[in-house]
Each structure stands twice: as C-alpha cells, then as structure tokens.
A = this chain, B = another copy of it.
Amino acid sequence: MTATHLTLGQLAERLGATLRGSADKPISGLATLQEAGPDQLSFLANAQYRKFLVDCQAAAVLLTAADAEGYGGDALIVANPYLAYAQLSHLFDRKPQAAAGVHPTAQVAADARVDASASIGAFAVIERGAQIGAGVTVGAHCVVGARSQIGEGGWLAPRVTLYHDVRIGRRVVIQSGAVIGGEGFGFANEKGVWQKIAQIGGVVIGDDVEIGANTTIDRGALADTLIGNGVKLDNQIMIAHNVQIGDNTAMAGCVGISGSTKIGRNCMIAGGVGMVGHIEVCDGVFVTGMTMVTRSITEPGAYSSGTAMQPAGEWKKSAARIRQLDDMARRLKDLEKQLAAVTSSANTASDA
C-alpha cells in the first residue's frame, strides 16, 4: 500500500480534510515540524511544538482550524491532526508486503488449513490442525503450534512462536521474537524439590491486538490466559499464566504481570511496572513507570510507587534515612508528647 507519489489533494480527500494550498503538490513522506523538507507533510499534535511552525519547511502541515489561523503555509485542516497523521502514516510505510502463498521451504502439516490468500514465509512450521485465516502473513521462521488459529488479516513478523492451542483473533500484529503459549511457571514444592505442573490451558487473544518484540504470554495452567480486543502490548512484556487483560488496555515495554492477575479495560500500564499475582485492577487505571503493584486497585485513577532520582551521594543519605524511618516516626511522636507536657505545665505554671 506504499505510495510515494501522492499529492496534497489526494491526501486531503483520503482524510476528508479541508485543503489550504495547492492540490497538485507532490508529497513523498512524513516528518516532524523541525525535520520536514519541502516534499514532506508534517503535523502539529502537541501545543509545545507550535513554536516550530514559524520555520517549518514542510510542503504542508496537518493542523486544527484554530492552529491553521496562525500559520501561513499550506495546510490540511482536520479535527485531530495526530489521528490524521496515524491514518496517513500507512501510505508511506516501506514495510514489504508478503505475497500470498506458501513458501516452498515452509513445513505445513497435511491437516493444517491455510487460506489461499495467506502468506507463509520461508522455513515456517505450521503444525497439525492449525488454521491460518484469509490475508494472514506468517513471517519466516514462525512456528504455529498444533491446533492454533490465526484470524483473518493477522501479521506475524519473522520468528514468532505460537505453541499449541493458541487462538488469535483478527488483524492481530505480533512482532519478532514473541512467544505465545509457553508453559507457565507452575510447580508444586515437595520437600524442597519442585514438581512440574503441566500447563493444560491455552491462550485466547482478541481482535486488533498488537504484541511487541520478545514479549511472552504464557498459556493457562487450567483455563486459558485471556487478552481482550484492542489490547496493545509493547516489547519484552511478560504475561504469566491465567492473566486476563481487558479490551483496549495498553502496556509499555518491560511490564511483568504475575499469574492469575486480572486487569480491566482501557488501562494504561507504563514501562517497567510489575504486578503480583491474583489481584484485580479495575477499568481506567493508569499506573506510572516502574510501579510495584502489590494489591488490587478498585478505583480508576493514576497510581505510582518508587522514589525520585537523586545525585548518588544524596541518594545514599536518603536510602539510609528510609531504614531509620520507623525510628524517626516514634521519636516524632515522643517529641509531640513531651512538648505537649511542657506546654501544658507551662500553661499550668502561668495559670498558677
């Protein structure tokens, strides 16, 4: 779908935008306000970048009507410039499109069902009973385990592993190195020795989900691990067995969610957050970066933990003081009592 010779008029039409300027102007790409050249389209989505409009060299800028008033150059006027940029970005994507068909080197089990419009890459392995939907791309070196399913329009980068019995919805994007359906951390301790518990559940992933590079989603111990529709998971996220994630929740890189934890819809979990197992987080929660979530969250809102960065010398003092904090709290209480006694005796004295 890459098109490097579009005109400003064509882009306006696609967006339903109001065009200000020359419809014939050729647009070869997208760039930031600071970097855009005279054949590139730019956008203003954040008020703090408005200052860069003055010297902007772009062919045209995606602007709200209000911002367009203060700008003299060509513009595409839209309600939401960032969303308009998101839409147009796909026109300028140089990501190669895979051709339909099964690569001659791929190994496809006799009873696997691969839609004729799907593309199966070099050295891919499609195991028994797997089902690959219409328009799906399975990259080179992917493994689709026994009975696993990928719904129509899915796109798997090279080198994605789906274990057996993983069910993936429509239009799901999975980046390279992701592992879906691995055996979760299930062991029973018998006199100090860990006995493995077979992980007999699967993974069910909704529609329009994105899964980042080297992210891992374990299969359920008994029931399935569940990822809702529209969930977006960044790179190197770890989702343990039997976790449930509600629709349209997004997680940034390096998040770790322990087993059986249930996260609501429309949450935003920032990078490096860790959650213990067996808790529930309600809808609409925002957890800031590197927070340690050790209990359920029952009210929407923003949550945090951790300490602010300091120069290392000062930090050492703070860290030492934190260990004395319980003692400090007791001494503070003592002081309050003593001072109350002093004040009271002084009052008594003055009363006397």
A residues bordering B, Cβ < 8 Å?
Answer: 29-32, 35, 80, 82-83, 85-87, 89-90, 92-96, 105, 107, 121-123, 125, 127-128, 139-141, 143, 145-147, 157-159, 161, 163-165, 173, 175-177, 179, 182-183, 185-188, 190, 192-200, 210, 212-214, 216, 218, 222-223, 230, 232, 234-236, 238, 240, 248, 250, 252-254, 256, 258, 266, 271-272, 274, 276, 286, 288-295, 301-326, 328-329, 331-332, 335-336, 338-339, 342-343, 345-346
How far does the alpha carbon of A141 sit from the alpha carbon of B161 in the complex, in Å? 10
With A294-B289, A310-B305, A323-B310 already in contact, the answer to whether A161 and B165 are too (CB < 8 A) is no
With A213-B216, A292-B289 already in contact, the answer to whether A192 and B336 are too (CB < 8 A) is no
Indicate if the CB atoms of A223 and B254 lie closer than 8 Å. Answer: no
Interchain residue pairs A-B with the least CB separation, the first 6 = A302-B312, A304-B315, A93-B198, A89-B198, A182-B213, A86-B188
How far does the alpha carbon of A258 sit from the alpha carbon of B182 in the complex, in Å? 25
Nearest to A104 among chain B residues (CB) is B107
Minimum distance in angstroms from A138 CB to a CB of chain B: 13
Q: Which of B80, B218, B309, B322 contacts A235 (CB 8 A)?
A: B218
Indicate if the CB atoms of B310 and A314 lie closer than 8 Å. Answer: no
CB contacts (< 8 Å) of A146 on chain B: these are 94, 96
Indicate if the CB atoms of B331 and A309 lie closer than 8 Å. Answer: no
